[in-house]
Amino acid sequence: MKIALVSPYDFSYPGGVARHITSLYNHFTRLGYEVKVIAPASGEIKEFGDNFIRIGRPFPIPVSDSVIRVSISLHLAPTIKEVLAREKFDVIHFHEPFMPMVCSAILRFSNAINIGTFHAAQGRPGYNFGRPATSWMLNRRAHKLHGHIAVSKPAVNYISKYVPAEYEIIPNGIDLNHFKPDVPLIEQYYDGKLNIVFVGRLEYRKGVNYLLKAFLDIKRQMPNTRLIIAGPGTRLRKRYERWVKKSRLSDVVFAGMISDKDLPSYYRTADIFCAPATSRESFGLVLLEAMATGCPIVATNIEGYASVVTNGEEGLLVPPMDSRALTNALLTLLKDKEKRLQMGQKGIITATKYSWEDVSRRVLDYYGKIIEKVRQERSVRSR
């Protein structure tokens, strides 16, 4: 079986969809399948060798307190037709299949078995931006999807409003050989201070502004604490750095973008991992990664996060956009080492349910189910 994994997003820029696709690629190829990754890319992609096909030039587009990096070119058809004719894929697996322009354009021309995975829980412009035009496009493209996957129940609730179908829920996975409790600590931060760690893109919806306000109160009560903010972003980072300086807030580290190699060590160095996102998280992938290293969680009580963390078990959940509640939850765990250890151990157990070995096998099983369904339907029509 020859498989294409298609992303609409800039594959040179870190994000959950790119990591999801990369993990599927690694496990599928390990099992002997021929796999190609298709996506726009602003830089060179080396890890897939000749198995990466670049289509489209991505541009950053501000949308709903976030930024999406997609190709908006209307001239991709010749390249897409040439790639599809040359590669002759058996299955094309689209991630956010109606996002412009790469996914939606490939779906238009595909004659393969088409599977779509929907990652978003709300606010994707491919569905509700320019609604009349979007509705027309969905009506033209939706029937070409043979199979529908969503990463969580919140994702199903969101996408089914636009694309009614039977959805298979297959969550994101984590590499338990990479994210594990015995990874090395980062020595420079292992100095007796209690570390609160955030990992994510510096966008408004990630809620770092609420975390900084909470840390200001925490620092007054517990001076022996540190906040480490890891993730890409330039404009908001400068704004946050100015706020930190103006507030005379010490022990705030902006670590920038972290490599996949070093990421587990940042989680392991954390006494608490904090995810204060305000909305639009369909699944708590960073929470699972942190949990797999034994780190307790403080996160906002939004659907995507609540689908993987049980309040009071692996961590504490608080209302979004509430810096006072965030302060109280963080202080509760900072002052209780035993509770942190208990929650960390529960998190390790929970994370084992999301191994990529299991997730990739479920995806392959779903391919087989849909292939057989399409074969039977075509057989009936041909009689």
pLDDT for 140? 62
Query: Do 219 and 295 fall into the same domain?
Result: yes
d(CA 49, CA 53): 9
Q: Is the same domain home to 6 and 56?
A: yes
The two beta strands, 225-230 and 252-256, are parallel
**Residue with the two structure tokens 């925490």:** 218
Same domain, 216 and 169: no
10 and 155 together in one domain? yes
Residues 312 and 377 in one domain: no
Answer yes or no: do 192 and 161 share one domain: no
CB 198 within 8 A of CB 286: no
Note whether residue 178 is domain-resident.
Answer: no
- 321: alpha, beta or left? (left if phi > 0; alpha if psi -120 to 50): left
Alpha-carbon gap, residue 343 to 340, rounded angstroms: 5
Pair 128, 169 in one domain: yes
**For position 130, what pLDDT does the model report?**
43
Question: Is residue 98 located within the same domain as residue 216?
Answer: no
DSSP string, 329-342: HHHHHHT-HHHHHH
Q: Which residues of the chain have pLDDT under 70?
A: 64-65, 122-140, 383
Which value, in Å, is the radius of gyration of the alpha carbons in the chain?
21
**pLDDT tens digits, 155-214:** 999 899 889 999 999 999 999 999 999 999 999 999 999 999 999 989 899 999 999 999
SS3 content of the chain, % helix, strand, coil (to 5): 45, 20, 35
Same domain assignment for residues 34 and 104: yes
Total count of domains within the chain: 2
Q: Supply the range of the domain harboring residue 11.
A: 2-173+355-382
Judge if 245 and 303 occupy the same domain.
yes
- 116-136: per-residue pLDDT in tens? 999 987 655 455 544 434 454
Q: Residue 136 has what pLDDT?
A: 46
Could you tell me if residue 180 is inside a domain?
no
Q: Look at residue 123 in the predicted model and tell me its pLDDT.
A: 57
Domain of 68, CATH number, reads 3.40.50.2000
**Residues 333 and 370 both lie in one domain:** no
Under 8 Å between Cβ of 269 and 198: no
